[in-house]
Amino acid sequence: MSDPKVNELMEKVVSLCKRRGFIFPSSEIYGGINGFWDYGPLGAELKRNVKELWWHSMTRHREDVVGLEATIIMHPQIWRASGHVDTFSDPMSDCLLTRKRFRSDQIEPQSGTAYHYTGAQDAVSGKCVDEPYAVLLPAGKPPESARKIANQFYQARGLGQVELQGERAEKVENSQRFNPDNGSLLTEPRPFNLMFKTYVGPVPDEDNVAYLRPETAQAIFVQFKNVLDSSRQKMPFGIAQIGKAFRNEVTPRNFTFRSREFEQMELEFFIKPDEVVEALCGTVAKPAGPGHPGEPRPDWGWQLWHQYWVEERIRFYGEIGLPRESLEEYWQKPEELAHYARATVDLLFKFPFGTQELEGIAARSDFDLSQHERFSGKSQAVFDEELRTAWAKLAEERRQALWQRYHDARHQYLTKAGVPAQQAEQDAREDADGLARGQYIPHVIEPSAGVDRLILGLLTHAYGEVTTTDAKGKTATEVVLRFHPKVAPIKVGVFPLLKNKPELVAKAREVFGLLRSEMAVFYDEAGSIGRRYARQDEAGTPFCVTIDFDTLGETPELKDTVTIRYRDDGRQERLPIAGLKAHLLPLVR
Ligand code: GAP
DSSP states of 56-108: IIIIIT-SSEEE----SB--THHHHHTTHHHH-EEEEEEBTTT--EEEGGGSP
Q: Does residue 359 form part of some domain? A: yes
Beta bridge partners of 172: 112
* 47 and 169 part of one domain: no
Mean pLDDT of the chain, nearest integer: 96
Q: Are residues 223 and 185 in the same domain?
A: no
Residue nearest atom 25 of ligand 1, based on CA coordinates: 258
Q: Count how many domains the chain has.
A: 3
pLDDT at 585 exceeding the cut of 80:
yes
- Residue ending a domain, among 454, 477, 500, is 454
Q: Is-contact 364 444, C-beta < 8 A?
A: yes
Same domain, 275 and 348: yes
Question: Ligand 1 within 6 A of 255 CB?
Answer: no
Residues 76 and 221 in one domain: yes
Global pTM? 0.92
Would you say the CB of residue 262 lies under 6 angstroms from ligand 1? yes
CA of 450 to the centre of ligand 1 (A): 6
Q: To test ligand 1's pocket by mutation, which of 248, 328, 357 has the most ligand atoms within 8 angstroms of CB?
A: 357
For residue 222, give the CATH number of its domain. Answer: 3.30.930.10
Asked whether 453 lines ligand 1 (CB < 6 A), one says yes
Q: Print the domain residue range for 567.
A: 490-588
Angle between the 396-416 and 421-434 helix axes, to the nearest 10 degrees? 140
Q: Where do the DSSP E strands lie in 437-485?
A: 439-440, 443-450, 463-469, 475-481
Cα 112 to chain centroid, rounded: 37
Would you say the CB of residue 434 lies under 6 angstroms from ligand 1?
Answer: no
Cite the DSSP H helix spans in 435-528.
451-462, 502-516
Distance 257 CA to ligand 1 centre (A): 9
Distance (Å) from CA 179 to ligand 1 centroid: 27
Residue 133 has pLDDT above 90, yes or no: yes
Looking at the predicted structure, is the pLDDT value of residue 124 above 60?
yes
Among protein residues, the one with the nearest Cα to ligand 1's atom 1 is 217
pLDDT at 367 over 60: yes
pLDDT at 2 over 70: no
Kindly list the distances between the CA atom of residue 360 and the CA atoms of 75, 261, 304, 330, 540, in Å, as whole numbers in the listed order.
26, 18, 16, 9, 28
In a domain, 423, yes or no: no
Residues 233 and 352 in one domain: yes
The answer as to whether 139 is a domain residue is yes
Instruction: Based on the fold, state whether residues 340 and 262 are members of the same structural domain.
Output: yes
- Asked whether residue 231 falls in the same domain as residue 295, the answer is yes
How much of the chain, in percent, has pLDDT values that exceed 90? Answer: 95
CA 254 – CA 243 distance, rounded (Å): 21
Residue 479 lies in a domain: no
Q: How far is CA 441 from CA 221, 284, 412, in A?
A: 12, 18, 15
pLDDT tens, residue by residue, 414-447: 999 999 999 999 999 999 999 999 999 999 999 9
Closest CA to 122 of 168, 158, 96, 156: 158
User: Within this chain, do residues 161 and 50 fall inside the same structural domain, yes or no?
Assistant: no
The rounded Å distance from CA 553 to ligand 1 centre is: 56
337: confidence class by pLDDT, cuts 50, 70, 90: very high
How far is the first Cα of the chain from the last one, in angstroms, to the nearest whole number?
A: 28
Q: From ligand 1's centre to the CA of 231, what distance in Å?
A: 28
* Residue with CA nearest ligand 1 atom 22: 258
Query: How remote is the CA of residue 135 from the centroid of ligand 1, in Å?
Result: 35
Helix, strand, or coil (residue 256):
coil
- 169 and 60 in one domain? no
Q: Does 94 share its domain with 10?
A: no
C-beta 452 within 6 A of ligand 1: yes
Q: How confident is the model at residue 470, as a pLDDT?
A: 82
Phi-psi map region of 15: left, alpha, beta (phi>0 left; psi -120 to 50 alpha): alpha
- Ligand 1 contacts CB of residue 365 (under 6 A): no
Is 228 a domain residue?
Answer: yes
404's CB contacts (< 8 A; 6+ apart) are 432
Co-location of 228 and 376 in the same domain: yes
The rounded Å distance from CA 215 to ligand 1 centre is 8
Residue 469 lies in a domain: no
**CATH code, 497:** 3.40.50.800
Considering only CA atoms, which of 109, 182, 91, 190 is closest in space to residue 141? 182
pLDDT range class, residue 5, cuts 50, 70, 90: low
Probe target for ligand 1 pocket from 262, 268, 359, 456, with the most ligand atoms within 8 Å of CB: 262
What is the rounded distance in angstroms from the CA atom of residue 478 to the CA atom of residue 205?
A: 56
Residue 185 reports pLDDT greater than 90: yes
Position 478 in a domain:
no
Q: Is pLDDT of 261 > 70? A: yes
Measured in Å, residue 193 CA sits from the centre of ligand 1 at 15
d(CA 479, CA 541): 12
Q: Ligand 1 centre from 530 Cα, in Å?
A: 41
> Mean pLDDT across the stretch 280-308?
97
Domain boundary among 428, 454, 480: 454
CA-closest residue to ligand 1 atom 18: 450
**Is the domain of 167 the same as that of 242?**
no
502 pLDDT above the threshold of 70: yes
| Centroid of chain to Cα 374 | 29
Which tens digits make up the pLDDT trace of 375-392? 999 999 999 999 999 999
- 63-117 pLDDT, tens digit per residue, is 999 999 999 999 999 999 999 999 999 999 999 999 999 999 999 999 999 999 9
410: in domain: no
Domain boundary among 135, 164, 192: 192
